[in-house]
Amino acid sequence: MANQPKKYKKFVATAATATLVASAIVPVASAASFSDVVVGGSHSEAINALADQGIIKGYADGTFKPGVQINRGQTVKLLGRWLESQGYEIPADWNSVQRFSDVPVNAADQELVKYAALVKDAGVFNGSQGKLNASQPMQRQHMAVVLVRAIKNVLGEDLVQQYKDAGFVSSIEDLYQAYANENREAIIALEYAGITKVSDGNFRPTQTVTRGQFASFLYRTINLDTLNATVESIKAINNTTVEVDFKEAIDNVNALKFTIDGLQVKNAVVKQTDKTVVVLTTAPQEGGKTYTVSESGKKLGTFQGVSAVIPTGISTVVASQQGVIGQQVTVSAQVKVTEGQSKAGIPVTFNIVNSNSNVNDKIEVEAYTDENGVATYTYTRYYSGTDNVVAYATDKSSVNDKAKVYWDNALQLTISDVTTDSTLANGKNKVYQIESKNNKNGYVFVTFAENLNVAPDKLVKTVNAQGVATYLLDSNDRVTANRADYPYEATTGGKAVIAVKLDSNGKANLVLSGKNASVTPIVFEGEYVGNNITPQAYKAKYDKTALQAKGSTVTFELKHELGLTVEAIGNANAATYINSTETGGRDYKVKYVDKEGKPVAQGSKVRVAIDTEGVTGTFRLLDADGNEVTAYLTDGKVKYYELTIGKDGETTFTVTSTHVNDYVTPVVFVDNGKTAQKLDDQDLQSKSETTYFVADVTYNAKLKVLGADGKEAKPVLANNSDYVDFVYELVDQNGKPRRASSATDVTFNITAGAGTIVTENGDVAPGNSTSVTKTISASSTKATTRVKAKEASVVSVTATGSTAGVVLPTTEPTSATATFLSTQELVNGTVYTGTVRAVDKANNKVTLLINGKEHTVSYENGNYYIGGTNKSFVDFEEALSYGDTVKYVPGTTPHFDITVNITDTTAPSLSSATYASAQPAKSNSYATGDIELSGGEKLTFTATEYSEELNGTKVVLVDNVASSSTTATVGVDGNGNTVITVELADNGTNITATFQDVIDAVNTVTTITKVSASTSDSTSTVADVGNTTLNGGSVAAPAQPATITLVFDEEVANTSEVEASVTVTGSATVRSLDNPTFSWSSDKKTLTIILGPAHTVQKGDTVTVTNVKDAAGNVKATDSQSLN
């Protein structure tokens, strides 16, 4: 018995949040009150709890008879009632299909009949040789078997496999008395799970079970902790970091004791971004070696060690960025490694120093590369300045690269599209707008990304700037007066840039024109070195870290004013035509756009030419709906068909033929050439791939989700009424329906999402699955299963088919989903009545309160009514205001009807105004406190984590009562601070406690108090009592600017126009805000003003806001409040 593995207990129960798969039965004061069940008796808790749940009923005379033997029929009833409580439904055929040969469906005990059907179908009670033997007493070994089956099939826990995996050794000595190996394994499984408890080493397998004993066994079974907290994966991130990914979130990593065979574990923390992942810091690993991770002696899994990799090179991914104060910027670095080495998990250090170092702190952080060798770090600044970024290999700082981030209140240099098209016909103009706040009335410069560091023969030479000059640079990178045709920096030497003059607002247009080429303009700042504003007063060599902005890529090409393409879809070897359902053939997709590249109008016509030289059978062309199209013209062997373009400028068609070895090559054209109705070389046209018709059919399968209308399913309500159908359809190599020569068996595997769903097998609980099997006859092509939902859920379905024992390929798609919405969600086509909570007329959006939930919807394209009368958009929007009642019908073209119109006449008002002073940066520090006793000895008490909340914790040494041991208790004072009271050991006269006794006592409650004790003199006796208060604890945090927070009583519509000022209360003296930044909350009710470092604002000052407007147009010219 020595050193045997622990019994059934999930090791992270103290660290993870336990979730019971099945609802446990909690003992309460019983309503049953059986006259022969004594309160506090050996089985009373289980009997009363099960009775309150309706699982136990007792006898008519008010007794339970706990000492009477339970028979097999009574056992079936108890198990059946429990299954019902877990959501299992009585089989629909319980009274028509007999499960046991000795329990006919017309038996007098109908309750036994239905529960016998339920437990048999659930795989819990199988009987003996087809019989239930209901009147026979239940033996303990048979009880063990049915309980273990129930735990496996109902609770999802295979106890037999678990005890075998754990190496559990049974202490039961009379297992040999059990009749079969299954019985013995079941008994051991109950022992492993703690459901049976033997005191004398004997289970007594052949003895019968009393009613009271079975109640206790069933009660323990139902309340079995079924938390399945296992490990998803273990992997080495780098040479000293391992991640253990659990299925459950880890709440207390300190409760877990991780070890790795042959490798020191130095630290274990929960990953900040994923509470299910524990990050282990290890000693250096041996590359390729297999390591085993364990927790408290339990093996979790293995991982392959990773060798330390020193990169051979590093480069910043984006060398120049512009940051907006308060918004995040991500810097990235790409490493290079020796061929064959992994790029993942390599430490990279980002050293970031700001030019405005008085307010922007230096940052130095370490990040690890992903599988692509890219390390990233995201951060923000609250003051302007330029960050000089150096990214270097942590283990070799000489491998580095540089970047810059330019911070300001807004982007300092931009280039945006005026001409929105990215692809233009040769000779057309692409117009960009450049804006630079730093260079008003000065120059900025433009190069092409494609012409940087390129050999002369690779330069793009056919795109030029219009209306501005391109200049050569001299050897000192200064702009000369010599012109060039295009900008470039050639690898062989020579540089040229486009010089763009900005107006007094810092704006200018850049116009590019060209042919048969693509370019990406980059605008950047030059270095002003002259005395007057001319291009020649600048140095303008492009530097990757210069302040810059990249425009969109433009392509100039030869193109028709209209665009036409045809794409062959699927397999060139197509099945032949059989009938209008089993069409065979192959699809082609047509795309038709106008001169701007936008889809042509729906209803436009295109034509298809089919040369039937290769056709000996009957050729058919089918439209997008599968209908046969009649040729409008036959010219020799060529047949012509006309098709109608649908939405998005697209349509599809299918080519089919009845004969093997036929082939066709479609040509789609627009009849705008020389010859009417026929294809000629001047028609806009597109020729596609050839399709060949073959005898062989390669069977595949499609998985579709259809609504009640037979069309692609949209989200439906989880009301146990609306449904979706999942359809498995046999198809040929091009996705066309095709029956098989023999029947096909289809198994649908249906998985519930977050809510309960209803299948043909009954209810499926959240996260659980069920399988439904259907048969497709040889005369059909598809099988269907229907799903409903009782609660909001996303249902996922996979389906597998097999014919004559051969499994068919995976469906396309491999899985399908359907969404069942909460009855609070909005469903297209349903009429709702809501109250207007907000109106955003700038973006044509209205927020409606419907059934207790707010929904923000667009009213930009809809049908508009007021009181049932059709109105224009303008009239509707003018009338729409806060508080209105609106009838709303969501859909592609939503319906809006204002049924009750309320006029809002009140402008937003200030509710509160708060000033918060600037806060300096904080560093990590532990709270500490000392008790110095009369003899000069000192005890030190230190927090175990960085925290300001531990400041104020008190440690008090007292000698109030005679005690042979030193103990620590934890309390809370009137201010909410933790108090650790240490009662010192004494002999009735003197204190006998040593310093080490105090340390040991304090450290026993460290997990609660987060305070530990230490001293340099642990053996001395404590001379007297004393106390201390811990202080000095803090958590590292960057400096925070001073702010003013203004709260309004309703949404402000014109946030960009609101102005604010601060004056000394009672005077006209204006306070400085020092270049403030305004930031509005998402609901536009709260304005946060970030003040500059030189502001003069104080509490008690008066803040005034002007020009505050709501969505209804009500304006408050001024509003003031005192700053709290």
Collapsing DSSP states into helix, strand and coil, what is residue 337?
coil
Instruction: Kindly report, residue by residue over 768-784, the tens digit of the pLDDT.
Output: 999 999 999 988 999 99
**Residues 160-168, mean pLDDT to the nearest whole number:** 86
3 state SS of 150? helix
Q: Is the dihedral of CA 243, 247, 250, 253 positive or negative?
A: negative
- CA dist., res. 142 & res. 136, Å (int): 12
């519930």: which residue's tokens? 752
pLDDT, one tens digit per residue, over 523-567 is 999 999 988 899 999 999 999 999 999 999 999 986 657 899 999
Which whole-number Å values give the CA distances from 82 to 53, 122, 336, in the listed order?
9, 12, 62
Tokens found for residue 942: 């230190």
DSSP state of 166: T
Domain residues for the domain of 534 are 413-557
Does residue 271 contact residue 311 with C-beta atoms inside 8 Å? no
Domain boundary among 694, 728, 760: 694
- Is the confidence at residue 717, as pLDDT, over 60? yes
Mean pLDDT, residues 1087-1112: 92
Interhelix angle 140-153/72-85, rounded to 10 degrees, is: 20
Q: State the pLDDT at residue 988.
A: 81
Task: Flag whether pLDDT at 93 surpasses 80.
Answer: yes
Same domain, 400 and 449: no
Q: Are 848 and 888 in contact (CB under 8 A)?
A: yes
Q: Is the four-CA dihedral 344, 347, 351, 352 of positive or negative sign?
A: positive
Average pLDDT across the chain, whole number: 90
Distances from the Cα of 41 to the Cαs of 196, 200, 217, in angstroms?
A: 18, 21, 15
For residue 848, is pLDDT > 90? yes
Instruction: Please tell me the least confidently modeled range out of 203-212, 384-393, 512-521, 822-831.
Output: 822-831
User: For residue 1024, which of 1114, 934, 906, 894 has the smallest C-alpha distance?
Assistant: 934
Same domain, 435 and 397: no
pLDDT at 295: 85
Contacts of 1074 (CB under 8 A, 6+ apart): 1091, 1092, 1093, 1094, 1095, 1096
pLDDT score at 806: 67
Say what percent of the chain tops pLDDT 70: 96
Identify the pLDDT of residue 32. Answer: 55
1047, 1017: one domain: no
Q: Is residue 772 part of a domain?
A: yes
Q: How far apart are CA 312 and CA 447, in angstroms?
A: 31
Average pLDDT for residues 852-880, to the nearest whole number?
Answer: 91
CATH of the domain at 1051: 2.60.40.1220
872-882 core/surface letters (b: 16 or more CB in 10 A; e: else) = eeeebbeebbb
**Mean per-residue pLDDT, 881-887:** 90
pLDDT at 225: 53
pLDDT at 23 over 60: no
Banded model confidence at residue 31, pLDDT cuts 50, 70, 90: very low
Res 10 pLDDT > 70 = no
Residue 257 and residue 279 in one domain: yes
Which of the four pLDDT bands, split at 50, 70 and 90, describes residue 401? very high
Instruction: Calculate mean pLDDT across residues 236-245.
Output: 89
Q: Does some domain include residue 1101?
A: yes
**CATH number, domain with residue 853:** 2.40.50.140
At 557 the pLDDT is 82
270 in any annotated domain: yes
Q: Are residues 284 and 376 in the same domain?
A: no
pLDDT band of residue 146 (cuts 50, 70, 90) is: very high
826 domain-assigned: no
Whether residue 194 has pLDDT greater than 90: no
Residue 1022: pLDDT band (50, 70, 90) is: confident
Q: Is residue 240 domain-shared with residue 184, that is, in the same domain? A: no
- Separation CA 921–CA 935 (nearest Å): 40
Same-domain pairing of 551 and 604: no
Dump pLDDT digits (tens) for 263-275.
999 999 999 889 9
Q: Give the residues across from 764 on adjacent strands.
A: 757
700 pLDDT more than 60: yes
With bands split at pLDDT 50, 70 and 90, how would you rate the model's confidence at 230? low
The pLDDT score that the predictor gives to residue 559 is: 62
Domain end residue (candidates: 304, 337, 362): 304
Q: What does DSSP say about strands 396-408 and 320-324: parallel, antiparallel, or unpaired?
A: parallel
Q: Could you give phi then psi for residue 1077, rounded to 5 degrees?
A: -115, 130
Whether a cis peptide bond, with omega within 30° of 0, leads into 487 is no
In a domain, 6, yes or no: no
Position 6 pLDDT exceeds 50: no
Q: Indicate which CATH number applies to the domain containing 461.
A: 2.60.40
Same domain, 734 and 854: no
Is 905 inside any structural domain?
no
Distance from the first to the final alpha carbon of the chain: 71
User: Does 499 map to a domain?
Assistant: yes
Q: How many C-beta atoms lie closer than 10 Å to residue 798's C-beta?
A: 20
Task: For residue 345, give the CATH number of its domain.
Answer: 2.60.40.10
Judge if 418 and 404 occupy the same domain: no
Q: Residue 1 domain-assigned?
A: no
> How many residues comprise the chain?
1124
Q: Of the candidates 6, 24, 5, 4, which has an alpha carbon nearest to the alpha carbon of residue 227?
A: 24
Distance CA 657, CA 693 (A): 7
Last residue of a domain, one of 495, 525, 557: 557
633 vs 1113: CA distance, rounded Å? 63
Residues 265, 218 share a domain: no
Rounded Cα distance, 592 and 308, in Å: 55
Q: Is 631 exposed, middle or buried (0-12, 13-18, 19+ CB in 10 A)?
A: middle
Going by C-alpha positions, the residue among 10, 11, 66, 76 that lies closest to residue 34 is 66
Q: Which residue has the higher pLDDT, 137 or 10?
A: 137
Span 1067-1072, mean pLDDT?
92
Residues 432 and 446 in one domain: yes
Closest residue by Cα to residue 174 from 197, 192, 200, 149: 200
Q: How many CA atoms lie within 13 A of 157 on its CB side?
A: 28
Q: How many domains does the chain have?
A: 9
Same domain, 20 and 158: yes
Segments of 491-618 assigned E as strands: 495-501, 507-514, 517-519, 521-524, 527-528, 538-539, 548-550, 554-557, 563-569, 573-575, 586-593, 605-611
